[in-house]
Amino acid sequence: MYRIKIDTKKHILKLFNDNDFIKEYPVAVGKPSTPTPSGNWTIIKKGLWGAQFGGHFMQLSVPWGIYGIHGTNKPWSVGKAVSHGCVRMYNKDAKELYDLVPIGTPVQIYG
């Protein structure tokens, strides 16, 4: 079973299959005024969104808003704390992750 860990301080998303580390991706996270929500979440929806979201969007189970892991039309932002709370990835990485992980994948966000 796949699982994802996101370190908001290091701007890194790590993908695991069971306890085996698979891959690490650089990400952008929320800025201090609109932080990425820490906690244990689940991917509850996947969809193909517009270019602003790099085409691939994976929505998290955060109950107070729509937060997700997605691509971006602002690749310069990856590695920084600049989003409104979502986790941005390079488009090719977002597509790769989208194709791998199913709905129900656990996501731990910390930092």
| Contact yes or no for 37/62 (Cβ under 8 A) | yes
84 is catalytic: no
Quote the CA–CA distance of 90 and 74 in Å, as a whole number: 9
Strand-pair partners of 57: 47, 70
| Contact yes or no for 15/30 (Cβ under 8 A) | no
70 is catalytic: yes
Among residues 11, 56, 84, 86, the one annotated as catalytic is 86
Among residues 11, 56, 70, 84, the one annotated as catalytic is 70
Quote the CA–CA distance of 86 and 77 in Å, as a whole number: 12
Which residues participate in catalysis according to the annotation? 70, 86
